[in-house]
Copies of this chain bind each other. A is one copy, B any other.
Amino acid sequence: MPTISQRGEQMPASPIRKLVPFAEAAKKKGVKVYHLNIGQPDIETPQPVLDAVRHSDFKILEYSHSAGNESYRRKLTGYYKKFDVEVNHNQIIVTTGGSEAILFGFMACLDPGDEVIIPEPFYANYNGFAVAANVHVKPITSSIETGFALPPIEQFEQLITPKTKAILICNPNNPTGYLYSREEMEVLKQLCLKYNLFLFSDEAYREFCYTGKHISAMNLEGMENNVILMDTISKRYSACGGRIGALVTKNQQVLDAVMKFAQARLSPPSFAQIAGEAAVDLPDDYFDDIKAEYQSRRDILVSLLNKIPGVYCPNPGGAFYAMAKLPIDDADKFCQWILESFSYEQQTVMVSPATGFYATPGLGKNEIRLAYVLNKEDIRHAMTCLEKALEIYPGRIN
């Protein structure tokens, strides 16, 4: 029997989804499970976005242009302009979700053995794309004590080797919710220019900033050839299943290379490109309500978490995630236990152990990530479950 590849063996299993069987078992026992474990918003996809697909009248579901429909890319230039990002439609390659933008960026810029520095904790799937592309992730640890601020420049410099080709940030951050300041963005710029590095910037949560203004990496002057923006409509318009994202850069060599990867896979999904195009036409105030909703959820979640004895949660500046430190021995054990062996009034909560978001072994063992993608009442119930669980969890420390 032929054996699978080492790459296939090394590929990490999703840390977010591995608890699913325990959640399913809890539900079978009649326990209601509040899902704060995954970034699937409960907010409805805007009706005009769904209607654009449902009212489409083409006869043949054809391949689109490998870079995505030109009409969509032209509209996207208007979208980016609202954030003072000036790009033309040839600098945008529509991808199959933000996922493919990350993979294409890695493939086009990094060779096997190359290194990319990523502040940890980070979105766990970056590991997966790194394994797929045979590149090495070099984590630089940000700490819950500083609210996950960017580590000092000296720490970055200590990690840089001749193999280092890029820094990857997610801003605002998944899983920490941290929003990088202008000063921090300038530090990244300094580093990239000094060491000739690409800056991969995942800005999936651009619209969801509650404390301060979002500084896009695309707006860093003099970084036109360094910055590669990885984007997606998934969270922005509650359209995760569409699988539409984009890679945006002014670096022509990168565009040319990415275009070849895009041609090999033929085209991004046609139906969801229609949805994406309609989404650009949503009125500007569309985000006002959504943002207000997420912000009020954040406020309740963070405030309730910090009221639980022994729990600490820094206030996230953006996205819809929060990281919390719990008085526990092992987050993986706890997250399984709360599904498997606990319920309060026939309810429990599913959260993500933070270990999966750290690349450095041993880190995150007393932290969890919570996605505030449920309504406020559900968040309250979930926090009650968490508080009650921590009172009786056998692995509680201090």
Contacts and interface: CB of A to CB of B under 8 A. Distances in A.
Contacts of A11: 107-108, 257, 260-261, 264
Interface string A105-131: 001111110100000000001001100
Given A5-B165, A13-B263, 13 more contacts: A1-B226, A6-B111, A8-B254, A11-B108, A12-B264, A14-B263, A40-B63, A44-B60, A45-B59, A54-B55, A100-B265, A125-B265, A243-B267
A259 to B, nearest CB: 8
A303 interface: no
A198 B53 CA distance: 40
7 contacts: A1-B225, A2-B109, A2-B192, A5-B110, A8-B109, A45-B61, A271-B275
Closest 6 CB pairs of A and B: A128-B264, A241-B270, A8-B257, A271-B271, A14-B263, A8-B108
Interface centre among A1, A13, A43, A197 (most CB of B within 10 A): A1
Interface in A37-70: 38, 40-45, 49-50, 53-56, 58-64, 66
Given A238-B61, A241-B61, A257-B9, A265 B99 contact: yes
A10 to B, nearest CB: 9
Given A44-B60, A60-B45, A2 B269 contact: no
A3 interface: yes
A218 to B, nearest CB: 16
B253 A270 contact: no
A268 B99 CA distance: 11
Contact of A108 (B5, B38, B63, B261): B5
Interface string A82-116: 00000000000000110110010001111110100
B109 A5 contact: yes
A306 interface: no
Contacts of A275: 61, 271
A353 interface: no
B240 A61 contact: yes
A377 to B, nearest CB: 18
A50 B2 CA distance: 40
A333 interface: no
Interface string A258-288: 1011011111111110010000000000000
Interface of A: 1-9, 11-14, 17, 38, 40-45, 49-50, 53-56, 58-64, 66, 96-97, 99-100, 103, 107-112, 114, 125, 128-129, 132, 134, 165-166, 192, 196-198, 225-226, 238-243, 251, 253-254, 257-258, 260-261, 263-272, 275
B54 A4 contact: no
Contacts of A241: 61-64, 267, 269-271
Given A61-B275, A62-B40, A266 B99 contact: yes
B5 A257 contact: yes
Contacts of A128: 260-261, 263-265
A262 to B, nearest CB: 9
A128 B40 CA distance: 32
A54 B59 CA distance: 12
A17 B197 CA distance: 32
Given A1-B196, A253-B4, A242 B270 contact: yes
Nearest to A108: B8
Contact of A4 (B17, B43, B108): B108
Contacts of A225: 1-2
Contacts of A56: 54
Interface centre among A53, A60, A61, A243 (most CB of B within 10 A): A61
